[in-house]
Amino acid sequence: MSGTLGGKKWTAKAERPWMSDTEEFPFLECALQKPAVNVKKMENLKIKVEWKVTEMKEKQKQKQKQKLTEKWKHTEKTDAKELGLLRQCLGPGCVYPTRPGSKYCSDDCGMKLAADRIYRILPQRIQQWQKSPCIAEEQGKKMLERIHREQQDIHTRLKDIECHFHELEAIILRGKQQAVCSDEEVNGNDRNSVNLQIFCVSCGESVSMHVALRHMERCFAKYECKMSFGSMYPTCIEGATRLFCDVYNPKSKRYCKRLQVLCPEHSRDNKISDDEVCGCPLVHNVFEVTGNFCCLPKRLCNLHYCWEKLRRAEVDLERIRALHKLEELVEQEHKVRTAMTNRAGLLALMLHQTIQHDPLTTDLRSKVDS
């Protein structure tokens, strides 16, 4: 170590004379040789680590080779076992081995065998089924006959209701042609009547008998508008007129299914003029028709309030009931026919068989001894 200080050169030996002589201070020799020793140790360590890494890699390769050889040996053994366990395909005339987990070598062989079985077994089963009478088939025929009779009765009932519908319209037209009675007769009827109170069935208020029908009709319309009776599809009935309202509501996306005559939301009553007559047909003892009509002004007649609407609704309700009954009968007929067709189907004949041990007995049902 050297340098300049004040224009004079100096060295480590000159400044530090004790470091020049290592014989007097032997411990300094070890301190000076330490860096060289550390470098050698690091080189030796690197060599050892590299050697160990290569040795580990070789061991891993050997282990992988051993695993692969063991796998190959195991697969060869299993293949040999499977080849010994494989069976011949059950297909007609097939000599190939079966697929794993199957009885056939292909789908075609299975289909061919199934077709051969059907051709051989089915004719015998059909003959056996035709020999012994099927009790369920006879019951199905009786049910179909009963359903057809009920359908005919309902069709005749619908025709009668349609005739009654036209008769009612004719009666309403005749009633409107009657002359309105004078005001003196109206005032006389009002004097003779007794003022009684009745409670409304909808709101519960006490109402006079004279205006009870009007009040109840308005209450019914008010509460009926709050409810909704709808369907996603309009009504399509051949030959049916004036049944359902069928007004489309874009908010709920439904068709109104109230009776068109009674729908308070979409059909409103026309304004009654002063000279319009009531025209309700009068009866004796509730059911005996007299042939006379009520000649009071319609706006003043409290006894026959909305009689046309109620009579029309009654006829429409009878038609709807008959149509519902007809629809139920159609569904019953469909169920019976499907059961009869499935009873003698291919699957039922192939899976089930009735054995008749005694050729003399035709009815195979068990009978309880009396």
According to the model, what pLDDT value does residue 59 have? 80
* Range in 154-158, 181-185, 246-250, 252-256 the model is least confident about: 181-185
Is 60 exceeded by the pLDDT of residue 123?
yes
Tens of pLDDT, residues 246-281? 888 888 888 888 888 888 888 777 777 878 888 888
- Report the C-alpha gap between 319 and 325 in whole angstroms: 10
Listed in sequence order, the residues at least 6 apart from 105 whose beta carbon sits closer than 8 Å to its beta carbon are 89, 91, 94, 96, 97, 98, 99
Tens of pLDDT, residues 309-340? 888 889 989 999 999 999 999 999 999 999 88
CA 161 to chain centre: 37
Closest CA to 229 of 210, 215, 249, 209: 249
DSSP 72-83: HHHHHHHHHHHH
- Whether the full predicted model's pTM is greater than 0.85, yes or no, is no
Q: Please tell me what DSSP assigns to residue 51.
A: H
- Are 246 and 256 in contact by the 8 Å Cβ rule? The answer is yes
- Report the C-alpha gap between 242 and 137 in whole angstroms: 42
The helix (H) or strand (E) run that includes residue 111 is: helix 107-131
Closest CA to 239 of 326, 311, 333: 326
- Report the C-alpha gap between 52 and 84 in whole angstroms: 48
Q: Where does residue 331 fall: left (phi above 0), alpha (psi -120 to 50 degrees), or beta otherwise? A: alpha
Listed in sequence order, the residues at least 6 apart from 271 whose beta carbon sits closer than 8 Å to its beta carbon are none
